[in-house]
Chain A
Amino acid sequence: GAGVSQSPSNKVTEKGKDVELRCDPISGHTALYWYRQSLGQGLEFLIYFQGNSAPDKSGLPSDRFSAERTGGSVSTLTIQRTQQEDSAVYLCASSSSSSSYNEQFFGPGTRLTVL
């Protein structure tokens, strides 16, 4: 079956511009996560959605970052007024429930480059 998909695969933008990154989770998965993978660092948790509950935004690095999940499926991560330090690979993952032992299935990521 189809896995987690993300678009675009690559995004180059200029400092100060806004960007939107999209994630399509596996059909039926209720939990959705965004992570950031920066050069030389591990994956950093950003935000977590579970069903219709309020999202866990505890990992968002600044108020320039926001995310939404429409209809419990597709999610969009928005970065406003991008900075060079935002350059990273942004990964989306989904799982079949919110239980922390459930496997998270990852998408291929969006590589964001801020010039």
Chain B
Amino acid sequence: AQSVTQLDSQVPVFEEAPVELRCNYSSSVSVYLFWYVQYPNQGLQLLLKYLSGSTLVKGINGFEAEFNKSQTSFHLRKPSVHISDTAEYFCAVSEGQTGANNLFFGTGTRLTVIP
């Protein structure tokens, strides 16, 4: 079974500062990894995903994430945040080629960008 841990429920950060949102997962099989963002009163939107290949993945809005297999982590980073990045961020995993197609989500991290 999969599980996803997002240790930080809330992360406040000043505008133009860098940010890292942490995600760790546990799985007995290979996984695909995703970050979704949920802006206020909107649905979830895919930021980026890791399937295979390069461990550094670039997504929309200047975000990137690095897959670290040995540490079972997939932390999300942005070098300089904007007010518009204020949102809730969810890390998710799905089983790799073996089957289950549903996503297992973490509990989310609320990023608040302070002017």
Contacts and interface: CB of A to CB of B under 8 A. Distances in A.
* A and B pair up: yes
| Size bracket of the B interface | 20 to 34
A16 to B, nearest CB: 29
B58 to A, nearest CB: 15
A40 interface: yes
Contact of A108 (B4, B42, B97, B103): B42
Interface in A75-99: 91, 93, 98-99
A18 interface: no
| Size bracket of the A interface | 20 to 34
Interface string B11-43: 000000000000000000000100010000111
Contact of B44 (A40, A50, A59, A106): A106
Interface in A43-96: 43-45, 48, 50, 56, 59, 91, 93
Contacts of A106: 36, 43-45
Interface in B60-78: none
Looking at B43, B95, B106, which has the most chain A CB atoms within 10 Å of its CB? B43
A100 B44 contact: no
Nearest to A92: B43
B15 to A, nearest CB: 27
B44 to A, nearest CB: 4
Contacts of B104: 45
A100 B106 contact: no
B4 A100 contact: no
Interface in A10-58: 31, 33, 35, 40-45, 48, 50, 56
23 contacts: A33-B102, A33-B103, A40-B107, A41-B107, A42-B4, A42-B105, A42-B107, A43-B90, A44-B105, A48-B101, A48-B102, A56-B100, A56-B101, A56-B102, A59-B102, A100-B94, A100-B95, A100-B99, A101-B49, A101-B51, A101-B94, A106-B45, A108-B42
